[in-house]
Amino acid sequence: MATAEATAPAPRPAGVNVGRAVRRYGWTAAVYVLFAILMVATVVIKPDYGPFEWNTLTLAALPLAFAAAAQTAIVLSGGIDLSIGPLMALANVLSLHATLGHDLAYSLAAAAVVLLVVTIAGALNGAIIVVTRVPDIVITLATSFIWAGVALLVLARPTPGIPLDFQNLAQGSAVSPWVPNALLLLFVIPLLWVPLRRSRAGLSIYAVGSDRNAAFRSGVDLGWTRVLAYAVGGFFAACGGLALSMTTGVGTPLAGTLYTLSAVSAIVLGGVSLAGGRGGMLGPVAAAYILSLIPAVLIYLGIDPNYGQMIQGVLIVLVVMIGGIGAVLRRT
C-alpha cells in the first residue's frame, strides 16, 4: 500500500483501497471490537475475573468455534449443513467408544480415526446433495436425523470415561494461565484453512459460492468442489465433537443438538454471507466467543441464563438488520 501511494500522486487510489479494506475486513474488525467491549464489560461486572474464568470461557467456546468453522467452510461454497450438530455428536460418542480405558497414545490414534470417519460422513452429505440435486437444506435436515440416529446406535446414553490424559489436552494450560490449551487448539482451524484457501481447491470453494455459473465456465469442477467443502465441514465438525469429549469428558449422543443452530448464529454474526462466497474464519471464531460469553455474563449479573437464548436471537436479528441497512445505504 505504501508503494501504491508513492507511485500514485493523486489521493484517490489510496482512498479506494481504504474503502475496499473497510468493506472486506470492517465486519470482522467490528466483531473483535464487540468482543473486546464485552470482555471489558465482563471485567467491570466481575472485578475478580481471572485465569479460571477465562479458561472456562475458552473451554465453552472451543466446540462452538469448531462448529462455526465447519458451517463457514460449507456456507462459503454456497451450501448449508443443518447436520453439523449430529456430526459433532457422532464424533463425540465414537471417540468415547474408541478411547475408553486406553492411554494417551492410543487415544490420539483413535481420535485420528474418528476425524477420518466423520470427515467421510460430512463428505457423504455433500455427495448426496451433488448426486441427487436436492437442495442442501432438505438433504442436511434429513441427514441430521441419520447422523443423530447413528450416534444413538453407537452410544445409547451419556457415558463418562474419556481418558484424563486426553481431556487434559484441552483442559490444562501448558504455556501460561492466560493462554489455556483450549485457546491454542483453535490453531487447528488456520492449520487446515490457510493452506487450503491459498490453494486452487480453496479458491474454487469461494468461486462456486459466489457465482456457480461463472465458476463452471472457468473450468471449476462444481461437484467435487462442493463435496470438498462438505468434507472440510465434516472435519471441523469432528474437531468440535472431539473438543466436546475433551472439555466434558463425557460421550453424549444428544450433545450436538444445540450446536447446529448456534453455528449458524456464529457465522451470521461473524460476517459470513449465507449467499456464499463472502467471509472468512476469523469472524465466526470471535462470534463463537461472544455467544459463549453471553450466558457467563448473565450468570455474573445474577440473571436467569435462560435469557441467553433470547439475547442470542435478538442479537442476531439486530446484527443482520444493521448489516441490511448498511447494504441499502451503500447501494443508494
Partner 1 sequence: MSARVATTLRVVQQRSILVLIGLLVALAALIEIIRPGAVNASWVSNILEFAAPLGILAAGQTLVVITGGIDLSVANVATAAAYIMASQVPHGVVRAIVLGLLVGVVVGMINGIGVAVFRVQPLIMTLAMGLVVTGSLNVYGQSDRARGVPVVPEVIHTLGSGTVLGYVPVSLFLWGALAVLLIVGLRGTGFGRLLYALGDNPEATRLAGVRGWQVLLANYTACGLLSAVAGLVLAGTVNAADLGLATILLLPSVAAVVIGGTSIFGGSGSYSGTFVGALILTVLNSVLTLLDVPDAVKQVLYGAIIVLLAAVYTRVLGRD
Residues forming contacts to partner 1 in the complex (CB under 8 A) are 80, 128, 131-135, 137-139, 141-146, 148-150, 152-153, 156, 261, 264-265, 268, 274-275, 304, 306-314, 316-317, 320-321, 324-325, 328
Distance, CA of 75 to CA of 217 (rounded, Å): 21
Q: How far is the CB of 75 from partner 1 (least distance, A)?
A: 11
Q: Using alpha carbons, list the distances in angstroms from residue 127 to 153, 226, 273, 308.
A: 23, 8, 23, 36
Q: Which of 76/183 has CB closer to partner 1?
A: 76
Give yes or no for a contact between 163 and 96, defined as CB atoms under 8 angstroms apart: no
Intra-chain end-to-end CA distance of the chain, in Å: 29
Q: Return the number of the residue (217 or 331) whose C-beta is nearest partner 1.
A: 331
Query: Toward partner 1, which CB reaches closer, 109 or 131?
Result: 131
Nearer to partner 1, 214 or 310 (CB): 310
- Print the SS3 string covering 22-83: HHHHHHHHHHHHHHHHHHHHHHHHCCCCCHHHHHHHHHHHHHHHHHHHHHHHHHHCCCCCCC
Closest CA to 53 of 169, 173, 162: 173
> What's the closest the beta carbon of residue 141 comes to partner 1, in angstroms?
5
CB closer to partner 1, 80 vs 110: 80
Query: Which candidate, 37, 36, 68, 23, places its Cα nearest to that of 284?
Result: 68
Question: Least distance (Å) from partner 1 to the CB of residue 143?
Answer: 6
Shorter beta-carbon distance to partner 1: residue 61 or 80: 80
Of the two residues 173 and 309, which places its CB atom closer to partner 1 in the complex? 309
Quick one: cell of 254?
444428544
C-alpha angle 255/167/265, rounded to 5°? 40
C-alpha–C-alpha distance, residues 194 and 191, integer Å: 6
Q: How far is the CB of 31 from partner 1 (least distance, A)?
A: 16
Amino acid at site 252: T
How far apart are CB 186 and partner 1 at their closest, in Å?
Answer: 25
Please name which of 183, 221, 217 lies closest in space to residue 201, comparing C-alpha atoms. 221
Q: Which is nearer to partner 1, 112 or 321 (CB)?
A: 321
Q: How far is Cα 163 from Cα 167, in angstroms, rounded to an integer?
A: 6
CB of 321 to partner 1, least distance (A): 5
Nearest residue to 122 via CA among 159, 176, 69: 69
